[in-house]
Structure 1
């Protein structure tokens, strides 16, 4: 679905999120489902916010004050889920989702590194989507960022036009995405609440830090005597790739921390500690629990296993049959592909083609 259509259409067709069967089946709501639903209603009816399952009071307040912002929350969640599946398409855990209200399933009950990535990418998605809507003038609470418009830079160019208003995107994301985690008082928040808030901020900071300077030349015959420049958001796929890098080097934290998050020291290193403690960076993705074994199905934990997954027999990365199939081996099937080929134009007036067959091997995990 095109983002511009979604966040700029002021008429009837609005993406909304009301699925009664799931609302009655799940008592604990999850705003992430907003990226999975496609029920259309008129969002000018602010009382509809009260019927959206899974929103806490702070989120309901934001919805009622600016219903259209929730449309962009939905788009942000949708693009985040899509990018999660893109980044993990060759992994044993491939960001599995379902059409029910839980979205990611039982994996969310544990604070694993996969859960950490989910929180980071969804927070980043909301930040990105709301920021773009601001710059396009589609939200009543914000506009693009004109702060530096007209100012000269030491590099010789001039700030021009409006930059993407990432500050509003950050502010909105903190208010909306963090709301379920900050209900508790700071002293009584669990380490899991703090982990989620920390990873939410990792996603937001990644969007902010990856903003790029874009410039346009002005002058006679394109001489570029003057440049006007502004800050704009990166492609969301680059944000996803950066968060995947953070996932790969994510840090496990102690599960009983009462005040601040701190790295967990492996048992083999405890005897050799010198008293110096490693400090967590605000840019570090963190997790609490070890990841489960994604090789074999486990319905209770929501794990599908890797049986039947396509793999690369000659590859060496995570998509290779050796790694993806967890050492179980793979099946090979010869697939016949039929297509039109050797086409030529016949005067007048039709195209004559032959039918060609191509055979290729298809490998799937046992």
Structure 2
């Protein structure tokens, strides 16, 4: 480690500790910071100095080998959030991670800024996709044999339906370990359905985290491989596997689009905001929110909303990436961009490559 970086680490540790002491309620979401931290940086800080709650630090100390999986889960969730909302007015922007040479924890710990604690639909998606990312990452590590305390799903061994020509085999993903650890790490309990929560935002975050975990479980699929003479499928070996995280992200994005507005007053159970719909139950797979989203069209410095000014849009699209919707009716500017690149390359004997210099001109549209 460079001398400047080593001097910055103690300073960053003090700043992180002071911030968490001033704002202990922020610690529930600060683990997300691991997903954008510089490579190797969390490991250098150690569990005690990471921006985690006391319970999370304790789990980290007991199972330090899980830190890389936790970090990968955070990275996976952040990446998929960006992917699902890349064309939306709110594009899941995150703050840049601190580096050892230039720490700035006061802005970095929030990761998603205002949306992380606003109680909006965006908050709902953040907590769901991050919890799902943690389950997905740890389950993959189990199936890959990277951890001694979990492996493949042993409950399926010697099962199947031989009469129908198939049996369980291979390495089925055991998501129960990932789900259980995600609950302990994020919620502080192995079953959040019976706990008592201190406020509506906490209840909302816990519900949405569980909805993210349930999405991973719901989308688990069965893969099979055929065995037989000359490529026949006389017998099939099947195993359970998680869906790609992009598919899970799309599922949660649909839940976001149909999220349920609930009362912001603490009750024995979550109830819908609209009086005429309160008899309709809120399912554990639903995403819920307590506050309406702000206007993401215009910049709001107080809330940290950047607005859509300057965002690139698609002039011919009728979707959310279209200039009409993304620019909120303000119109757009058109810029001509010239690209120069090598093309029509040919190998000349002997021995070099000859290319032409090709130019292309494209129109780029940005919101006013």
Q: TM-score range by the shorter chain?
A: 0.7 to 0.9
Partner residue in 1 for 2:48? 50
Structure with the larger helix share: 2
1:19/1:36 CA distance change after superposition, 3 Å:
farther
Q: Deviations over 1:80-127 (max 9, x none)?
A: 101100100000000010021210112223100000000000000000
Q: Find the aligned partners of 1:252 and 1:208 in 2 and give their Cα distance.
A: 24
Q: Find the aligned partners of 2:12 and 2:243 in 1 and give their Cα distance.
A: 33
CA contact (8 A) 1:106 1:300 kept: no
Q: Does 1:71 align with 2:64?
A: no
The one of 218, 231, 243 aligned to 2:227: 218
Partner residue in 1 for 2:112? 104
Q: Does 1:207 align with 2:219?
A: no
TM-score, normalization: structure 1? 0.86
Q: Find the aligned partners of 1:306 and 1:42 in 2 and give their Cα distance.
A: 33
What is the number of equivalent residue pairs in this alignment? 338
Q: Find the aligned partners of 2:197 and 2:217 in 1 and give their Cα distance.
A: 30
1:65/1:196 CA distance change after superposition, 3 Å:
same
CA contact (8 A) 1:146 1:161 kept: no
> Please, which runs of 5 or more residues in structure 2 have no aligned partner?
1-10, 97-107
Q: Find the aligned partners of 2:272 and 2:278 in 1 and give their Cα distance.
A: 12
CA contact (8 A) 1:22 1:101 kept: no
Partner residue in 1 for 2:135? 127
What value does the CA root-mean-square deviation take over the aligned residues? 2.5
1:119/1:341 CA distance change after superposition, 3 Å:
same
Q: Find the aligned partners of 2:110 and 2:151 in 1 and give their Cα distance.
A: 34
Q: Find the aligned partners of 1:352 and 1:130 in 2 and give their Cα distance.
A: 49
Partner residue in 2 for 1:36? 36
Q: Find the aligned partners of 2:131 and 2:15 in 1 and give their Cα distance.
A: 23
1:22/1:88 CA distance change after superposition, 3 Å:
farther
Q: Find the aligned partners of 1:42 and 1:357 in 2 and give their Cα distance.
A: 44
Give 1:205 shift.
0.5
Helix, strand or coil at the partner of 2:280? coil
CA contact (8 A) 1:333 1:362 kept: yes
Partner residue in 2 for 1:10? none
Q: Find the aligned partners of 2:17 and 2:310 in 1 and give their Cα distance.
A: 34
Partner residue in 1 for 2:105? none
